[in-house]
Amino acid sequence: MAYSIPKSKVIPYAPEALSSFSAYGFEWIDNLHFLADPSEFVDGDLAPYIAIVKERFLELGWEGDGDVQLLWLPPFVFPLQLRIPPEGLALWHVKQEEDGVSFILSPIELPFEEFQHGHAA
């Protein structure tokens, strides 16, 4: 069996931390096969996490449809100077059904060119 971190370590913060996450809108994330249900990764009550995530997405213009999921990014996609931990980062994501726009919450400011001018924290 291959080693992986415990699922309970993917979300190592309290729901309140989501209020300070960087928020983004992005057109379009169309490969949704690698998204995960956050209930698999939160021990205890998921509702406070989802409530804050939805509130943040609504502030960005999300219309309230689509499923909130987690999008994992491995550490090697980030510049080395960011010192991303070996387990990578889990981003909160929803894809709006009407127009396909994705909304993302990240525990760090994303260093990708696509987000340099459209950051909406």
pLDDT tens profile 64-108? 999 999 999 999 999 999 999 999 999 999 999 989 999 999 999
Domain ranges of the chain: 14-109
Strands (E), the chain: 22-26, 35-36, 69-73, 89-95, 102-106
pLDDT mean across residues, the chain: 91
What span, in angstroms and rounded, lies between the C-alpha atoms of 69 and 94? 6
Q: Is the pTM of this model over 0.75?
A: yes
What pLDDT is stored for residue 121 in this prediction? 44
Question: Among 44, 21, 25, which residue's Cα sits nearest to residue 103?
Answer: 25
Average pLDDT over residues 9-29: 94
Which residues pair with residue 93 across a beta bridge? 69, 104
Q: Is the pLDDT of residue 116 over 50?
A: yes
* Residue 42 and residue 12 in contact, taking contact as beta carbons nearer than 8 Å: no
Q: Is the pLDDT of residue 26 over 60?
A: yes
